[in-house]
Every structure is written in C-alpha cells, then in structure tokens.
Amino acid sequence: MRRSQAVMRSEDHPGWEQQQRGLWEAVRMDPLRTCVACRVKAVRGELLRIVLREGRLEVDERAVLPGRGAWVHPTVDCLKLSVSRRIFARALKASGHLDASPLENRLEKLMDN
C-alpha cells in the first residue's frame, strides 16, 4: 500500500518541508494593497486594480496590465469616493484631466443592482 502525500514525513524526504515553507512564505509575502478611497489594506483579490492608459482610467479586471496601478474596493462607496475626489490622479501621479468613464460605468452597473 502506498502512503499518501498527507502522511509523508519530512525526514523521509529532505527538502519537502522546506518546499512547504517556501509556499507559505509566498502566500505571506503577497503584499497588502491599500484602497485609495478608504485607505483600508486588503489582499489583491479583494481589490480592483485601476491603471492609467492614455489619459483614461481603465479597470484592470485581471490585474495584468502593465504600468502603475492603484487599488480600490469594488464597492459603490469606494468607487464613488475615488472618482468624485479625483483620488486616482494623485495615486497614479498623473496630471491634467483623466477620463474616469470606465469607472463611472462600473459604478452605474453596481448601483443598478
């Protein structure tokens, strides 16, 4: 009968424990992001990433777009606050007018629900 992974002991498999610790470190090291609106810290998965592209604030749904990003809770309160106070311009160190229409659309959709 083969022993399952779950009962594998570290002395039988040097390096296994170290590997587990490495995974744990990776999770723990996932840096917390601060919501630009309410300034509460959260892990990436709970926040929406916003990037600046050609003067337009784009919602980076999968958090994959290059460039500087700002993070915000995908909630009516936080989106509203960040759009109305032009917080993203500051967070993204942008000057001039920023087109926030993608965010406004997002907000409208949220409020419809």
The site for Zn ion (CB under 5 A) is made up of 35, 37-38, 73, 78
Beta-carbon-side half-sphere exposure of residue 7 (alpha carbons within 13 Å): 4
Closest CB 63 distance from Zn ion, rounded Å: 16
Residue nearest to Zn ion (CB): 35
Closest CB 33 distance from Zn ion, rounded Å: 10
CB of 34 or CB of 99, closer to Zn ion: 34
Give Rg (Cα) of the chain. Answer: 20
Distance CA 107, CA 110 (A): 5
CB of 38 or CB of 94, closer to Zn ion: 38
Give exposure, 94-111, as e/b (b: 16+ Cβ within 10 Å): beeebebeebeebbeeee
Closest CB 72 distance from Zn ion, rounded Å: 6
Q: Residue 58 forms beta bridges with which residues?
A: 51
CB of 49 or CB of 73, closer to Zn ion: 73
CB of 52 or CB of 87, closer to Zn ion: 87
Closest CB 12 distance from Zn ion, rounded Å: 47
Distance CA 89, CA 34 (A): 15
